Amino acid sequence: METKTLKKEVANTDKTIRISGAEAVIRSLLEEGVDLIYGYPGGAIMPIYDELYKFQDKLHHVLTRHEQGAAHAAQGYARVSGRIGVAMATSGPGATNLVTGIADAQIDSTPMVCITGQVARHLLGSDAFQETDIVGISTPVTKWSYQITNASEIPEVIAKAFYISKSGRPGPVLIDITKNAQFEEFDFCYKKCNGIRSYKPVPVVNKEKLQEAASIINSAKKPFIVFGQGVILGNAEEELKTFIEKTGIPAAWTILGLSALPTDHPLNVGMVGMHGNYAPNLLTNECDVLIALGMRFDDRVTGDLNTYAKQAKVLHFEIDPAEIDKNVKTEVAILGNVKESLAQIIPLVNEKKHESWHEEFKKKRDIEFEKVIKKDLYPEKEGLTMGEVLKEINNATGDDAIIVSDVGQHQMFACRYAKFKRSKSNVTSGGLGTMGFALPASIGAKMGAPDREVVAVIGDGGYQMTIQELGTIFQTKVPVKIVVLNNNFLGMVRQWQQLFFDKRYASTELTNPDFITIAKGYHIKAKQVKKREELVNAVNEMIASKEAYFLEVCVEKEDNVFPMIPTGSSVSDIRLS
């Protein structure tokens, strides 16, 4: 793997030097501590790439095979490292190819800065070669976007971009730089951004609201916590653990909250949502107090809002005021960073056990185990299940891998059955549901956490959406492990067709290529598994490999993910089969 920690240039805000806008971009990135960029060059960004060439000992550039790959790789890097991912592309198609990754980062609150080249200022609006209004296109899916047309704007705008992207509720920022601004010379000096007049990223925690929330928690008989990615983004994992251990409240996670609490923690009661666990979904409609921590009541979590937790007093701990009462009406809203608000409420809450309430979770978990989990993890039928593949990955990695999953049935199996000991270990496209996310995101994840095992779990559909990134893996020698769970179907859509469209499998069956030959074409070690008795050894061999490794597991063709809450149904209507 070529990536290494590169020497950071020392910030010097006092001196000015006369340099080009292109060099100013590189120097600004170095001032922000960036040492890794994912991208793809082209006409309108060539001056910046020329400077990158000169600074290659300080700033490592990973050439992906498509700009979408660059954006997802930057996301993967950001999600595991907690730093800002940086992606770069040229104007026009280069810029528009980033958009899917940007939209994904926006909905999943991933800090990312994208830099795009743009045609020269005098050509703007003339439909020049490779001109698109990328600021206009990306506006609805960015936290902030800005077009630079003069070189002198570069340091201030980049400083602002990094501040906005990472502070408060993180998100993607796009900076579009015209080609003339890249060539122009100006007197460069860099000052980091510490605040913007109109932007207050973290609301101050209201102590009276905390008291009110604590009093409700203390008098609750059946309290229940649902935590989301806000816990991970706010580095509040320890506070979450202390809070639940003191109050004895069962805690469930959203898909992006996964790994904030170790899987085997006794108070961890599983996943909420459409394919979440039976107990936390069902008991959402029986709890008397619902405590939402750093989560946004996504429709995949709530199902029908008219029947969601109507009996409960809802306490919402959230950094983004726009999320309060957006979907679910709250009794008390605690605005602020969840790390800070949890730390402040812990002394105010009483120690409790809630044993009989826990017993209800256990009873329902036993039902789910008998009807679903047992057949997923310990199947008696001949065909391999996705669940048992995840179980073997857990075994081979000691429950300590970073699992990067794509979108579809395999994603739900991965999120249900992958086990985690550490936070920032689950990387998946939650809000946007972007097929093609996992392969490039796993490259970024491995570069963001080089000492950890990174396993990408992908379906045969999503794999082929960004399969070209095998070239990036080959070139960078990044040792990611790729598991394709191949059922020759767009499995999740097929499942819906089976359940809700009378088995009319319209355009969901895939005739796949020889994945092993393709992997080998990229000089990546590869193996195919078709039988159960081959699985354990193959997974172990993959994990033991020091290099990238591709494992294709041919799984049962028409397996389904259960439990399931059909779209628009109540969480109480969760189906086990």
Phi, psi values for residue 145, rounded to 5°:
-145, 150
- Site mask, other proteins, residues 399-428, x = CB under 8 A? ------------------------------
Active site residue 359: no
Rg (CA), the chain: 24
Q: What share of the chain is helix, strand, coil (3-state, %, to 5)?
A: 40, 20, 40
Selected binder of other proteins within 2, 185, 325, 514 (CB under 8 A)? 325
Interface stretch with other proteins, choices 7-15, 115-123, 198-206, 333-341 (CB under 8 A):
198-206
Nearer CB in complex with other proteins: 103/482: 103
Position 136 contacts other proteins (CB under 8 A): yes
Within positions 156 to 185, which residues make up the interface with other proteins, using CB under 8 A? 164
Position 331 contacts other proteins (CB under 8 A): no
Active site residue 475: no
The β-bridge relationship of strands 17-20 and 185-188 is antiparallel
Nearer CB in complex with other proteins: 136/266: 136
Residue 383 exposure: Cα atoms within 13 Å on the Cβ side: 14
Interface stretch with other proteins, choices 101-109, 197-205, 274-282, 342-350 (CB under 8 A):
197-205
- The answer for residues whose C-beta is within 8 angstroms of residue 504's C-beta and 6 or more apart is 497
Selected binder of other proteins within 17, 56, 191, 321 (CB under 8 A)? 321
Cα–Cα distance between 30 and 7 in angstroms, integer?
Answer: 9
Selected binder of other proteins within 145, 302, 337, 411 (CB under 8 A)? 145
Whether the Cβ atoms of residue 415 and residue 258 lie closer than 8 Å to each other: yes
Q: Least separation, in Å, of the C-beta of 510 and other proteins?
A: 33
Grouping H, G, I as helix, E, B as strand and the rest as coil, residue 312 is: coil
Nearer CB in complex with other proteins: 144/420: 144
Q: In what order do the strands lie in the sheet with 268-271?
A: 268-271, 251-253, 223-227, 289-293, 313-318, 332-335
Position 198 contacts other proteins (CB under 8 A): yes
Cα–Cα distance between 87 and 76 in angstroms, integer?
Answer: 12
Catalytic residue among 23, 31, 51, 67: 67
Position 195 contacts other proteins (CB under 8 A): yes
The β-bridge relationship of strands 36-39 and 60-63 is parallel
Position 191 contacts other proteins (CB under 8 A): no
Cα–Cα distance between 234 and 257 in angstroms, integer?
Answer: 11
Selected binder of other proteins within 58, 192, 246, 326 (CB under 8 A)? 326
Nearer CB in complex with other proteins: 198/577: 198
Active site residue 421: no
Candidates 147, 136, 145; CA nearest to 178 is 147
The DSSP code sequence of 353-422 is --HHHHHHHHHHHHHHIIIIIHHHHS--SSSPPHHHHHHHHHHHHTT--EEEE-SSHHHHHHHHH---SS
Q: Is the peptide bond before 155 cis (omega within 30 degrees of 0)?
A: no
Helices (H) and strands (E) in the chain, counts: 23, 20
Catalytic residue among 56, 129, 363, 531: 129
Position 341 contacts other proteins (CB under 8 A): no
Nearer CB in complex with other proteins: 176/392: 176
Position 516 contacts other proteins (CB under 8 A): no
Active site residue 8: no
Active site residue 515: no
Position 139 contacts other proteins (CB under 8 A): yes
Selected binder of other proteins within 322, 347, 351, 355 (CB under 8 A)? 322
Interface stretch with other proteins, choices 135-143, 183-191, 352-360, 380-388 (CB under 8 A):
135-143
Candidates 92, 36, 46; CA nearest to 67 is 92
Catalytic residue among 160, 179, 424, 527: 179
Whether the Cβ atoms of residue 406 and residue 438 lie closer than 8 Å to each other: yes
**Alpha-helical segments (H) within 418-563:** 438-448, 460-463, 470-476, 491-500, 515-521, 532-544
Interface stretch with other proteins, choices 64-72, 109-117, 131-139, 231-239 (CB under 8 A):
131-139
Nearer CB in complex with other proteins: 245/320: 320
Selected binder of other proteins within 109, 147, 330, 442 (CB under 8 A)? 147
Active site residues: 67, 129-130, 179, 492
Kindly list the residues in this chain that would bind other proteins in the complex (CB under 8 A): 135-136, 139-140, 143-147, 164, 195-200, 320-322, 324-326
